[in-house]
Every structure is written in C-alpha cells, then in structure tokens.
Amino acid sequence: MGDQQFFLKWNDFQTNMVTSFRHLRDEKSFTDVTLACEGQTCKAHKMVLSACSPYFKSLLEENPSKHPIIILKDVSYLHLQAILEFMYAGEVNVSQEQLPAFLKTAARLKVKGLAEPPPQMPSIKREG
Amino acid sequence: MYPGSTFEGLLPESQFKKMGSSEGQQTFCLKWNHHKTNLVEILEALIKVETYVDCTLVVDDQVTFKAHRVVLAANSPYFQSILADVPMDHCSILFPGVKDFEMRALLEYMYTGEVNVTQAQIPRIMKVAEQLEVKGLFDMTELRRRPGTSERTPAASPPRVVPAAPSSVSPPAPAPPTRWPPPPAAPVLSAAYESVDMNPLKRKKLSSMLATRDTPILRNVLAQSSPVDSSQPMSLVCHPVNNSAPPRLHSNGSAHEPERPPSPQRPFDYRPRRLSSRASSPHYNRSDRSEDAHSPYTERSFEEDNSRNFHPSPPPPNFQPDVRAGLAPYVPPQQKPEWKRYKQYTRSDIMSAIECVRNGMSALQASRKYGVPSRTLYDKVKKLGITTSRPMSRGVKRESNGAAFPYGLSGTGGNEDGNPSTPLIDPSFLQQALEGATRDGGREALHAMALAAAAHAALAPRSPPRSAPHSPRSPLPDDDHVEDLSVSRRHDVDPPSGVIVPPRNFALDCSSERD
C-alpha cells in the first residue's frame, strides 16, 4: 500500500522561476558571469545563459571558471541588454530599426528562440 | 655621508633629498631614480615566468594567456572598469572572436609598450585594441564620447594612433620610420634613466628569471625591425613590414648583443628598453626644471644628455650586456641629425675648453672659443672641481656635500665614453663613499668606493683640495636649473633631524661654508 505516489505540482512554478531569476538578476545576486561589450558590463547567471544559448553553454563549459568575464566582440550593449532581457523574461521590446541588427546579434549568440528556427516562432507583436 | 648609501640597492641611481625644511622636522625625499624602470622590467619578467598572474585570457581555439590584472587595468580603462568589480582570486576573461595573435600582440604591447606585427595583422589588432581601449592604440575620441571613463586617469595623456593606423599604412616600401610626435624632451628623459645599473643582486635575479623560461606567450615575435621610439609612450609607431626580412627580434639590437644567447623564439624581448613609460611623467619634462625638488636630472645639460644617449660610442663597461643592448640601438638612424645638432663639438673640444678653464679662462669664454655649450662646460668643470675666475654664487657651496654623487658614481659626468675610470668626480665624492662604506658596510658603498678611488687616482694631480669645490658657473639666466640637483641644502642651518642623520663631515661642511 505504501507504493502509492502523489503528484505534487506547483502551478505557479514557471512564473515563480521566471520572476525569481529576474529578481536575482536585478539584484545581481549570485551572478557568476560578467558580459562586456562596448566598454560596459552586465552581470548574469551562467545557468541562465547556458539554458538559453548553446553558444554560451559551450563557451562556459570550455572555460570552467568561477566568474568568467566574457568580452563580446561586435555586440552592441543595447542588444546585449535586450538579449539578456529576453533570456530572463522570455520577452523584450525592440524598436523596429534595431530589430534586424538585434536578431543578427541574437543569431550570432545562438539565443534559443531568436536564432534557430524554434518549434514555435516567437511572436513579434507590434506595440505602441 | 651620502645618505642613499644607507640603502643597499639604491645606489647609485637613488637620490636623497631634503624637502622643504621648516623650523621643525625636516623631511627627506628618498628617491630611487630607476623605480619606474625597475617596475616595468619586473613586470615583463614576471609575465614571462607567469608569476603572480591573476587572470587568464581565453581567445579562440581555447588559446589561453595569463596576465596580471593590474597591467591590463593600467593599459586599458575598459579592463579597469571590468576588473574593478570582479574580486575573484583568479578570473578568466573570455574573448570569443579574438584570435590568438591579436591577443598576443596586445599583451606584448601592454607589457612592453611596443610590439612587432605584420602589416596584414594590423587592422585586426587595431580593431581589438580599440574595442578593449588599449591605451595608445585606440582613438581618443572614442573615449571622449563616454565621459568619465578614462580622462580621469592621468596616464591617458594623448594616446595616439599614428600614421600607421590601418587605413594609412604605407606599403612595404622601405619608408623611414615615423615618429610622432617629435619629442624634444625625449633625450633628457631617457638620459635620466640611462645608467641602468641595478644592484647586483637584483640584476642576477632578473637575468636568471629571464633565462629560465620561454612561455608560449607571444612566441611569434613577428619579425620586423621597427626602430620604435619608445620614449613616446602613447604613440604607436608602425612601420611597413618587410616580409622578406629574416625574423629578428630587433633590428638594431642584434649587433650590440653578442653576449645574449641566441633565442629566436623569445616571446618578449626582455631587454630593458629605452624606457617608455617614464617619458609620460611630467616630472622629467624640461620645463619643470625650475621646480628643483623633484627633478634631479635637470642639472645635466641637454647637450650632454644627447651626446651620451645618441652617440654611438660603446656604453660604459659597468653596464650589463643586455642592458647595454637595450639603450642606444633603439634610435633610428634617421633621427641622428635631429639629435646631432645639439652636439657639434668633439671630445677634444671639450677637453681643450676644460683645460683653458683650468688655466684661468672663464668658462663662458672657453665655451665660446671651442664651440662647446657653456652649460655643458660648466657642468664638467664643476664636476672636476676646477675653480674659475668667475665670481662664485652663494648657492654653489652646496656642491661640496656630494649631491652630485649619483652622476659621479655612474661615471656619466659628461664624458662620452662613459668610462668609469675617468669620471669627472669631485673628490668629496670619495669621502662620501668612504663614509657610506664605514657606516653601513654596504656592498654598494664599497663598490662606489672602488670606483671613486679609481676616479680619484685618475684625477689626483689636478684635483683641487676639497675645501674649494667651486663651481665655475656664471649667473646665467637659467642658472637655477643648474642648481636643481644640488638639492636644497641652503636652509640647513641645523643638522637635519629627519629620517637620516647626516654624517659629520656634512655637518662640518655646512658650518664651514656658512662662514
């Protein structure tokens, strides 16, 4: 009789994870990687980067370091921020004129959902 | 006693100065003139053996370079800001998209201030340099657009990308090396550091460090003879690459370094160079010579400096071979005329002029007669201790306390062959050395004493008694600069109560000369 399993599910799990990660990033808590481009830096979590980009995943796997600093070439800081926003929140606002360059950068960094043709394309909505 | 002799390893290039003696405590400025040189050299040596490195730079293909964060930060405001908030013990910096030759070149540039690259590599290297804001290689305007980044750092004085920037690189035709901007003060600056004789202990240590390992870093010394003038720290001098030339480390240096074992693959060239970084220090600017306290070199005449730095005569034998190799060869031959014009007299001219002064002619007359710059003549005559017919100024009395010691010891008293056996030395110097030796028994002091004894013997017949170390200087308008070196004893009414107690003969000198 002790074999009976119970299924415990937290319905808000994903929401919570997303908001928590976002919160951690805003607080710069537990950040363990620094991304730098155009002379500016931002901190992030290896886990999130690896989860969202095979490029970062292999980069970080190849260089195991407590707190690596990744200096990105030919990446605009604006785009980097937008990409991080996308990684952490799953959505981001990009102006139309920036969109091609942004997508190009995202493709170079192999950001999942932006670079490779994903199962379901991210919906690009026009706002404002 | 010359207080510098208290510290082994500081002589002879150290200075010891009294600063602003007020009524109460007197403060002393202990200054080691080769401090900057040493720092640069040590950093180069340290990176070579990867000692104390605290970051790893990873570029494409998993090529890694070790480096010192402090050097990266010192050479790039970008690194400075990045590394500021990474308190890690050892951090990795990943540069995806950067090739290893680019990073290698930049590292060598950051550690030595110069690097040899091929023309084809220049655009890429410059691009990375610009991205990383490597001082001297990236455009200053880039920085101004971001206020508050690097203009606060004093060293960021005009970093420049010279004519050799990617767009304007001249074709591999043998073009004369570009130097930019033409540095009028450069000879003075380098002369200040010319006597690179480190204390034996350090020298040995350094050379052994240099001999030990050949790290993969910068192994491809891209063989190009570029007579880079390193006295302008912020300027990049690029030369067209002659690819047919056999790989060499430095074109001019090869003839001057027979002692060095052939090591064609040395990643860095560790010869102490003609010392780039110091030129950026405003202290050594000629215009500063009126502020005496910090510029001990300013007493030397410009002409003299030039003649000693750019004259092709062999360096003094007390120079270490590899040190010697690093000095003169870096001057491109094309510059010769520019420096030469400062010295248009020969050694016999100056000797004749000195002889005339000794025989009673005024220094000014003698200088005119033989076409020797009067200031040079004054210096030399003064160091010989010859009395001239000129009235002596009050400030001159300070000469006897041995303030000119460093010059005397290094044998650079203006004679161009730099032979230490005939330095133009005031006999008082011998006493200083003796004093230092007996007080401390320091090795340097003993060494100095030996030199002094030789010098003294050489000069003995014509040396005046110690009580008359008169300077033949005339009241030139720029007289004050000549007095710079002699270092502020004029207020020494009381024996200094500062850090170091003056020796008795110094005190005696003061009192006797005050009368």
Residue B390 is assigned to a structural domain of this protein: yes
If you average pLDDT over every residue of chain B, what do you get?
56
Question: For position B446, what pLDDT does the model report?
Answer: 54
Distances (CA, A) of B431 to B12, B439, B467: 15, 12, 12
Q: Is residue B377 a contact partner of residue B354, using CB atoms and an 8 Å limit?
A: yes
Residues B12, B160 within the same domain:
no
Residues B367, B485 within the same domain:
yes
Residue B268: give the domain boundaries.
37-170+178-278
Nearest CA in chain A to B83: A69
Question: For position B17, what pLDDT does the model report?
Answer: 62
R_g of chain B computed on alpha carbons? 24
Q: By three-state DSSP, how is residue B30 classified?
A: strand
Residues B255, B383 within the same domain:
no
Q: Is residue B63 a contact partner of residue B100, using CB atoms and an 8 Å limit?
A: yes
Statement: residue A117 has pLDDT above 70: no
Q: Is residue B215 a contact partner of residue B64, using CB atoms and an 8 Å limit?
A: no
Q: What percent of chain B shows pLDDT beyond 90?
A: 5
Statement: residue B208 has pLDDT above 60: no
Confidence of residue A79 (pLDDT cuts 50, 70, 90): very high
Q: What topology is assigned to A14-108 in CATH?
A: Potassium Channel Kv1.1; Chain A (3.30.710)
Contact between B146 and A39 using a beta-carbon 8 Å cutoff: yes
Q: Is B91 on the interface with A (CB under 8 A)?
A: yes
| Highest-scoring range by mean pLDDT, A5-19, B262-276, B479-493 | A5-19
Tens of pLDDT along B52-72?
888 889 998 888 999 998 899
Residues B54, B149 within the same domain:
yes
Residue B340 is assigned to a structural domain of this protein: no
Residue B65 is assigned to a structural domain of this protein: yes
Residue B209 is assigned to a structural domain of this protein: yes
Residue from A31, A67, A69, A72 whose CB has the most chain B CBs within 10 Å, to mutate = A69
DSSP 8-state class, residue B300 = S
Mean local confidence (pLDDT), B228-247: 42
Residue B499 is assigned to a structural domain of this protein: yes
Helix, strand, coil distribution of chain A in percent, nearest 5: 40, 10, 50
Residue from B72, B94, B138 whose CB has the most chain A CBs within 10 Å, to mutate = B94
Round to whole Å and give the CA distance between B171 and B397.
Answer: 59
Residues B19, B147 within the same domain:
no
Q: Which residue has the higher pLDDT, B463 or B63?
A: B63
Residue B272's CATH number: 3.30.710.10
Nearest CA in chain A to B92: A68
- Residue B305 corresponds to which tokens in the numbers above? 């400096």
Nearest CB neighbour to A71, from listed B90, B95, B149: B95
Strands B14-19 and B27-32, by their bridges, are antiparallel
- Residue B49 corresponds to which tokens in the numbers above? 């053996």
Question: For position B451, what pLDDT does the model report?
Answer: 58
Tens of pLDDT along B137-150?
876 545 544 444 43
Question: For position B50, what pLDDT does the model report?
Answer: 87
Contact between A63 and B133 using a beta-carbon 8 Å cutoff: no
Residues B9, B95 within the same domain:
no
Tens of pLDDT along B411-433?
333 444 444 444 444 545 545 54
Residues B16, B79 within the same domain:
no
Q: Which residue has the higher pLDDT, B151 or B363?
A: B363
Q: Chain B 167-226, CB below 8 Å of chain A: which residues?
A: none
Q: Is B331 on the interface with A (CB under 8 A)?
A: no
Residue from A71, A72, A80 whose CB has the most chain B CBs within 10 Å, to mutate = A71
Q: Which residue has the higher pLDDT, B356 or B292?
A: B356
Residue B452 is assigned to a structural domain of this protein: yes
The distance of B306 to chain A (nearest Cα, Å) reads: 42
Q: By three-state DSSP, how is residue B29 classified?
A: strand
Residues B95, B235 within the same domain:
yes
CB neighbourhood size of B125 (10 A): 24
Residues of A in contact with B132 (CB under 8 A): 71
Confidence of residue B352 (pLDDT cuts 50, 70, 90): confident
Residues of B in contact with A41 (CB under 8 A): 81-82, 85
Q: Is B153 on the interface with A (CB under 8 A)?
A: no
Question: For position B447, what pLDDT does the model report?
Answer: 58
Nearest CA in chain A to B99: A73
Contact between A72 and B96 using a beta-carbon 8 Å cutoff: yes
Statement: residue B131 has pLDDT above 60: yes
Comparing CA positions, the residue from A91, A93, A98, A89 lying closest to residue A44 is: A89
Question: For position B18, what pLDDT does the model report?
Answer: 60
Q: Is B94 on the interface with A (CB under 8 A)?
A: yes
Residues B123, B213 within the same domain:
yes
Residue B321 is assigned to a structural domain of this protein: no
Statement: residue B9 has pLDDT above 60: no
Round to whole Å and give the CA distance between B4 and B18.
Answer: 12
In the block, residue with structure tokens 């130097």: B179
Question: For position B152, what pLDDT does the model report?
Answer: 38
- Tally of domains within chain B: 2
Torsion of Cα atoms, A102 then A104 then A105 then A107, to 10° = 120
Helix, strand, coil distribution of chain B in percent, nearest 5: 45, 5, 50
Question: For position B503, what pLDDT does the model report?
Answer: 47
Nearest CA in chain B to A65: B92
Which of these three, B237, B257, B278, is where a domain ends? B278
Q: Which residue has the higher pLDDT, B34 or B164?
A: B34
Interface A-B: count of C-beta contacts within 8 A: 63
Is the pTM here over 0.80, yes or no?
Answer: no
Round to whole Å and give the CA distance between B316 and B17.
Answer: 27
Tens of pLDDT along A41-59?
899 999 999 999 999 999 9
Tens of pLDDT along B67-121?
998 899 999 988 888 888 776 677 888 898 898 899 999 999 999 888 999 999 8
Question: For position B381, what pLDDT does the model report?
Answer: 76
Chain A residues with a Cβ under 8 Å from any Cβ in chain B: 34, 36, 39, 41, 59, 62-63, 65-74
Nearest CA in chain A to B61: A62
Nearest CA in chain A to B150: A39
Question: For position B173, what pLDDT does the model report?
Answer: 38
Question: For position A114, what pLDDT does the model report?
Answer: 86
Tens of pLDDT along B186-204?
333 333 333 344 444 444 4
| Highest-scoring range by mean pLDDT, A33-37, B152-156, B232-236, B264-268 | A33-37
Confidence of residue B295 (pLDDT cuts 50, 70, 90): very low
Tens of pLDDT along B296-330?
444 444 444 444 444 444 444 444 444 444 344 44
Residues of A in contact with B58 (CB under 8 A): 63
Residue B411 is assigned to a structural domain of this protein: yes
Residues B19, B94 within the same domain:
no
Which of these three, B278, B299, B319, is where a domain ends? B278
Residues B265, B373 within the same domain:
no
Which of these three, B278, B303, B330, is where a domain ends? B278
Question: For position B19, what pLDDT does the model report?
Answer: 57
Q: By three-state DSSP, how is residue B227 classified?
A: coil
Contact between A70 and B94 using a beta-carbon 8 Å cutoff: yes
Plot region of B237 (φ>0 → left; ψ -120 to 50 → alpha; else → beta): beta
Residues B242, B264 within the same domain:
yes
Contact between A68 and B92 using a beta-carbon 8 Å cutoff: yes
Question: For position A67, what pLDDT does the model report?
Answer: 87
- Residue B269 corresponds to which tokens in the numbers above? 């060239």
The distance of A36 to chain B (nearest Cα, Å) reads: 8
